[in-house]
A and B are shown apart, each in its own frame.
Chain A
């Protein structure tokens, strides 16, 4: 069985130590966290954690069950295999020599992202999108020269039935 990417959206009690319980569950049982996002929901006592993990069929079943077993976990949604929207945000600091500046702005335009900081030698670009879009802009900017990058990891929500 091959390991595949799974996106889990987990509602948890918004309390100190809960993230540590979840991270500890993953490390202690040899599961793998590819990305992780945590923030409060509209209900202040509840947080949403979005985890991307890689596992085979039996593995993801165990991860699901083990997460559900934690007292502070309210609900686990497995989004993979369902209809959902996912977004990731990145700040990309790219080298911007005079001869490249026009090219970079063209890319920014094509990808409908923003320049949020400009210097004599750099642009910092803010981009939001799914994994594919981020990978695409990255592959275009790489030859120009990426100085630094900060990414959020995936956040996701299932689509309501139309």
Chain B
């Protein structure tokens, strides 16, 4: 069968199970787009390549499948860098296909030529330049294999124009086998026996769950472990939903803006079982004072995560789901009858911290952002997929929306990329057309990819955008208030568009609430509308996110309300 490179590319994508591509055309991918016209692959035309990669990322986070993004060479490719770095930091499986100038022009500074493989080497899990049409199918197959196996991540495939134009005799790609790449999925059982012993001995244990639990789809196994052993659970921002937020054993998020009980318990615990985490500095604060009394068990598929930032007593390299399944089985063979009684003092202590130091805010005449998120949680019964932008809006979303299910919070955790929320919500809505998808945004970050409103409206995606509008770059302002004597250098957003009119200009619905009593009505109208909606909540301008641990301080030393 004779096929062109473009036909081979689309065929291979379909064979990999791809149904949707997020992209933006250009000169070096024009042949691929021409072929797309005759394909049943769905293409979502975004308005900026950064939107394409974030949308593919949001699609991947929500669905657990590989997200695909297609852009042209040069500026098309460089516009995806932020999104690639974002997916890399959060280990999201995305395949990025970039057009490249024809092979004979590479290195000549041709029109719209950049060395995208060179540029993205440090922010992709792996990347490829395809040298010939013969290599194309195998390379795409490898890219999907690498992106979705082991610790997932973005893989970029750069395809010169002549490679997609050439016609060759098509040969189906072989099963991928890379002798240099063999992730360890199965844990060392000897280590797991040690873990069981530690769980039996521990008086004040906690579980710390991260994004790795969600990536390996191990939320059920983690929940089983926690309930069986009566160990309270805290999660990182990336791990929210790994354990039901409404479960009595859930302590909420740990770290810079974590709950009092999560942070305080980390200072007191004698055992921490860390699953699918990488001990980011926003979690640990000052590393030498992190969990001073605890033995740490660290379960992760990536050996580099272990002992990178924090010394570990029992390292376990393995897939979270497989490891937790084995661990649960071992625990089933262990006598845990006294566990309820043994944990009582510890769990009572945590309950007491919860009662004395809850998340709190004072309702006044002006709308409080926390109130908006609380109401949103109430009205959606915790069932919406929430994407966030970055900053205060992100932290309030994490604190006041309780995630009972995995893959319901889409947030830029590692990179902290403003402008992620709207395109990510679009990607999630494409993956789940019938789900309610809400982007919790700030007035500054929403403007970083606001052009994607057009994408949402064009494809009739009923994405809801909740803007917590304080007229500031809120989180930086908060730092300036706390640590720079309120010198608000360039954090005041002196001019912003009228978001209601802007929504209307895009053909969406625009709503606004200015008083607390209007919040519920606006949310009801917005959430139940079948259209794309921006809800603009004019909030208390200098509201802060509490608790806060100053950067580099021990996480047990929190600034409280």
Residues of A within 8 A of B (CB): 12-13, 17, 20-21, 24-25, 28, 58, 61-62, 65-66, 68-69, 71-75
Q: With A62-B304, A66-B304 known to touch, is A72 a contact of B121 (CB < 8 Å)?
A: no
* 6 more A-B residue pairs beyond the given contacts A65-B303, A68-B303, A71-B146, with a C-beta to C-beta distance below 8 A: A17-B117, A17-B121, A62-B304, A66-B304, A69-B304, A75-B180
Contact of B122 among A24, A58, A68, A71 (CB under 8 A): A24
Nearest A residue to B123 via CB reads A28
**Contact B125 A71, beta carbon cutoff 8 Å:** yes
Query: Which of chain B's residues has its CB closest to A71's CB?
Result: B126
> Given A20-B118, A24-B122 in contact, is the A71-B180 Cβ separation under 8 Å?
yes
Q: Tell me whether A21 and B121 are in contact in the complex, defined as CB-CB below 8 angstroms, given that A65-B304, A68-B303, A69-B304 are known contacts.
A: yes
Which residues of the other chain, B, contact A20 by a CB distance below 8 angstroms? 118, 121
Contacts of A69 in B (CB 8 A): 302-304
Give chain B nearest CB distance to A57 CB in angstroms.
10
In the complex, B181 has a CB within 8 A of chain A: yes
Known contacts A21-B121, A62-B308, A66-B304; is A74 also within 8 Å of B146 by CB?
no
> Chain B 301-333 against A: per-residue CB contact (8 Å), 1 yes, 0 no?
011100110000000000000000000000000
Measured between alpha carbons, how far is A23 from B118 in the docked complex, in Å? 12
Q: Which residue of A has the minimal Cβ distance to B303?
A: A65
Residue of B nearest to A25 (CB): B122
Q: How far is the CB of B139 from chain A (nearest CB, A)?
A: 12
What residues of chain B lie closer than 8 Å to A13, measured between beta carbons? 180
CB within 8 Å of A: which B89-140 residues: 117-118, 121-122, 125-126, 129
Whether B121 and A74, one on each chain, are in contact in the complex, defined by CB atoms closer than 8 angstroms, is no
- B121 A61 Cβ-Cβ under 8 A: no
Contact partners of B365 in chain A: CB under 8 A = none
Residue in B118, B303, B304 whose Cβ sees the most chain A Cβ within 10 Å: B304
Nearest chain B residue, comparing its CB with the CB of A63: B304
> Would you call A58 and B307 a contact (CB within 8 A)?
yes
* Smallest beta-carbon distance B144→chain A, Å: 14
Q: Which of chain A's residues have a CB closer than 8 A to the CB of B179?
A: 74
User: A-B pairs with the 7 shortest C-beta distances?
Assistant: A65-B304, A74-B180, A71-B126, A65-B303, A28-B122, A71-B181, A24-B121
B490 partner residues in chain A, CB cutoff 8 A: none
Contacts of B180 in A (CB 8 A): 12-13, 71-75
CB distance from A121 to the nearest CB of B (A): 42
Max chain B CB contacts within 10 Å: which of A25, A58, A69?
Answer: A69
Write out the residue numbers on chain A whose beta carbons fall within 8 Å of the beta carbon of B181.
71
Question: Per-residue CB proximity of B171-186 to A under 8 Å, as 1/0?
Answer: 0000000111100000
Residues 131-167 of B, flagged 1 when their CB comes within 8 A of A and 0 if not, give 0000000000000001000000000000000000000
Q: Once bound together, how far apart are the Cα atoms of A24 and B124, in whole Å?
A: 12
A20 to B180, CA, bound (A): 17
Chain A contacts of B118 at CB under 8 A? 17, 20
Q: Give chain B residues whose Cβ lies under 8 Å from the Cβ of A17.
A: 117-118, 121, 129
Q: What residue in chain A is nearest B127 (Cβ atoms)? A: A17
